[in-house]
Amino acid sequence: MTCQPNPADEQPPRQTAVPTRAAFRDAMARLGASVSLVTTDGPFGPAGFTATAVCSVTDAPPTLLVCLNRQASVYAAMIGNGVLAVNLLAPGHRPLAALFGGRTPTDERFAAASWRRGHTAAPLLEGAAVSFDCRIANAVGAGTHTVLLCAVVGIECAAAAESLVYFDRAFHVLPAVAD
Ligand SMILES: Cc1cc2nc3c(=O)[nH]c(=O)nc-3n(C[C@H](O)[C@H](O)[C@H](O)COP(=O)(O)O)c2cc1C
């Protein structure tokens, strides 16, 4: 099912009373977002997953949020290690986004790229558009997910600014120069 437009002759647009999960997902497919690999390491071991539910919270102190499904295999490691890196992907990272998108063993995910360390133990992706090195400051449950509020303790930016984005259930390249 796709997001259903309202009839053109209705003003204002009609709203469905209680959106189904499918209707919500179809509507959210229209929200384009940068694709990140969220990674961690520490006493609970390495883990990483593909994420689009990443957002700035405030710049004072620098804080971002990550929404993580509690059913994901990476959940215990993310929470237990208490640190994570948000690695914004560049266009060439499309295969990595698929690999970290689920059902692939952890060692296979990490073997597909090169990593380095920053201030925390969280793996920083070589060639990422940006890597945010973070400590998890708070975690808030919301339905099936946990919202991780992350204090940013380090930032590494690549020279190139092209971005891999996810929109309408497909990957796209966002060029550095606006048209
Ligand atoms: C484009 C894309 C975006 C995703 N965004 C998120 C996200 O923001 N939060 C999340 O919990 N899972 C997200 N996922 C799913 C996770 O990547 C996946 O559940 C994770 O790798 C765990 O899978 P596993 O349980 O097989 O390890 C996304 C997947 C894809 C392909």
Closest atom of ligand 1 to CA, residue 68? 11
- Residue closest via CA to ligand 1's atom 7 equals 51
CA of 8 to the centre of ligand 1 (A): 36
CA of 5 to the centre of ligand 1 (A): 28
The tokens of 113 are what?
A: 């790229």
Closest atom of ligand 1 to CA, residue 35? 1
pLDDT tens per residue across span 100-154: 998 899 999 999 999 999 999 999 999 999 999 999 999 999 999 999 999 999 9
Report the percentage of the chain scoring pLDDT > 90. Answer: 83
Q: Which of 136, 131, 105 is nearest to 117 (CA)?
A: 131
- Residue closest via CA to ligand 1's atom 11 equals 68
Q: What pTM did the predictor assign?
A: 0.93
CA of 68 to the centre of ligand 1 (A): 8
pLDDT, position 160: 72
Question: H or E stretch including 141?
Answer: strand 130-142
pLDDT, position 50: 98
Q: Name the strands in the sheet holding 33-34, side by side, starting at the edge strand that comes first in the sequence.
A: 33-34, 163-167, 170-174
Mean pLDDT of 156-174: 92
40 and 85 in contact (C-beta within 8 Å)? Answer: yes
Task: Burial-class residue 84 by CB neighbours within 10 Å (0-12, 13-18, 19+).
Answer: buried
Q: Is 74 in the pocket of ligand 1 (CB under 6 A)?
A: yes
Closest atom of ligand 1 to CA, residue 54? 8
Q: Which of 137, 174, 123, 117 is nearest to 63 (CA)?
A: 137
Average pLDDT of the chain, as a whole number: 93
Closest atom of ligand 1 to CA, residue 106? 27
pLDDT, position 18: 87
pLDDT, greater one: 22 or 18: 22
